[in-house]
Homo-oligomer: A and B are copies of this chain.
Amino acid sequence: MKISTRTRYGLRLLIYLAGSEADRLVQVKEIAKHENIPAKYLEQIIRPLKKAGMLKVVRGAKGGYFMERAPESISVKEVFDVLENSTHLIDCLKDGNFCEGKESCSTFDFWDNFNKVINDYLEGVTLADILKMQREKCKKLMFYI
């Protein structure tokens, strides 16, 4: 039960973008450098996020990305749905998935419930929440230094 690097990178990328000045165009290269992530991999990750309408792009020279929606309105669940290739803990939970045992399977209801617990949590956390956590942590750090 691991979170893919794809989703982890994607979340950091979003937090970085959400934390930048609102009117600035941020290039993949810059994020890659700051977050220490392979740039080409980031490009593959950022595109589905754009397609999902979370951010927008200006192509060509001096171009870059910027947030389209407010960080308060984007839940981590949404990010998972876009990036994590299997949002479902087990295949049986997929909509319309055929599973002969569903009705008799001893563990189906448990997995179903577990899945709900996870999704409820992820729906309850927004990018803004994470940004806030991060900023508070920074303040504390500065205080110690």
Q: A134 to B121, Cβ gap below 8 A? A: no
Task: Judge whether A97 is part of the interface by a CB distance below 8 angstroms.
Answer: no
Rounded to whole Å, the gap between the CB of A98 and the closest CB of chain B is: 15
Say if the beta carbon of A62 comes within 8 Å of chain B: no
Nearest Cβ on chain B to A142's Cβ, whole angstroms: 12
Residue numbers in B under 8 Å from A88 (CB-CB): 2
The answer to whether A106 and B89 touch across the interface, beta carbons within 8 angstroms, is no
Determine how many copies of this chain the complex contains: 2
Question: A110-B130, A121-B114 in contact; A86/B8 too (CB < 8 A)?
Answer: no
Q: Is there an interface contact between B118 and A134, defined as CB atoms closer than 8 Å?
A: no
Task: Report how far A1 CA is from B122 CA in the complex, Å.
Answer: 13
Question: A65: shortest Cβ distance to chain B, in Å?
Answer: 17
Whose C-beta in chain B lies nearest to the C-beta of A131? Answer: B106
Find out whether the CB atom of A1 lies under 8 angstroms from the CB atom of B106.
no
A103 at the interface (CB under 8 A from B): yes
A76 with B110, Cβ < 8 A, contacts A103-B141, A121-B117 known:
yes
Chain A to chain B: the 4 pairs with minimum beta-carbon distance, closest first? A15-B106, A106-B134, A3-B89, A117-B121
